[in-house]
Structure 1
Amino acid sequence: MTQSPNRLVATIFGAVYLLVGVLGLFVAGGNVVGEEGGLLLGVFQVNHLHNIAHLLIGAALLIAGLRSTPAAKATNTTVGAVYLLLGIVGFFIVDTALNILALNTADHYLHLASAIVLLGVGLALDRRTTTARATV
């Protein structure tokens, strides 16, 4: 059995986002929600709500990647679209009360990069699994 690109990307991104969520719990300190947060890898600002989001997204991607190609494709596309929106909106909510995830510029670029990969794979690859039709 060959691994589909969507399953592979979902599994890898899921594992990475789970790891990032766990590591972030150690650096967030007492910052649960709001503009302030600890620095993960000295660059990415996180608070506990941000880490919980990473854990949930990581779990969704990992489960979908291990489950099936259609599940991975749908999850990659959905998470990619959410990250695209978050990456764009993030630039406008920095330094406002709406920044409840303690986002910073590095986070925005990482979310946009994740969106490009997830949307690219989700929309462009494994087309046969969702567009195959029965012949009559």
Structure 2
Amino acid sequence: MAASAGNNVAGRGKTVPEILALAFGAVYLLVGIVGFFITGFDDFFAHNTEEKLLFFEINGMHNVVHILIGVAGLVLGRTLSGARTYGWLLAVGYGAAFIYGLFATGQEWDFLSLNWADNILHIATALVGLVIALMPVRNAIDSRR
């Protein structure tokens, strides 16, 4: 059974980039869902909500972004080429979110209600995205061994 380059072949285990994409996807999806238990569904673009998940300030729109990022990780993490694409999305998207946060934190126009903990997490996630996108892969991790 042949498969195109970068796609899973039946019986092949997962590569580290695929595992990371799936794990980050699951975590971000969970964070987005749990976030709605804190913020509820009103005033999606509220600024300075003081509603926090651990140290991270959130609002409804922030939760939606986390859910979308999570679903993307779960969908794209199924293949190596998809995981690499997800890595680039994280690197570029969260790199941009970090830059946005440098200017937006504490401002009335900050529609994501960011704080400095968010900014640190965003740059760390961008770096993880680069790892997923660029990590060399020699062998798949086979859970059957």
SS at 1:86 equivalent: helix
**1:57 is aligned to 2:69:** yes
Number of the residue aligned with 1:105: 116
**1:84 is aligned to 2:74:** no
**1:17 is aligned to 2:45:** no
List 4+ stretches of structure 1 deviating above 6 A: none
Whole-angstrom distance in 2 between the partners of 1:40 and 1:6: 27
Gaps of 5+ in 1: 128-136
SS at 1:13 equivalent: helix
Percent identity over paired residues: 35
Report the Cα offset of residue 35 of structure 1: 1.4
Report the TM-score, using the length of structure 1 for normalisation: 0.84
Q: Which has the higher helix share?
A: 1
Alignment-mate amino acid for residue 71 of structure 2: A
CA contact (8 A) 1:35 1:99 kept: yes
CA contact (8 A) 1:5 1:125 kept: no
Report the TM-score, using the length of structure 2 for normalisation: 0.80
Report the Cα offset of residue 82 of structure 1: 0.8
Whole-angstrom distance in 2 between the partners of 1:57 and 1:125: 23
Alignment-mate amino acid for residue 65 of structure 1: G
CA contact (8 A) 2:17 2:135 kept: no
Worse-superposed segment, 73-82 or 47-56: 73-82
SS at 1:98 equivalent: coil
Report the Cα offset of residue 113 of structure 1: 0.6
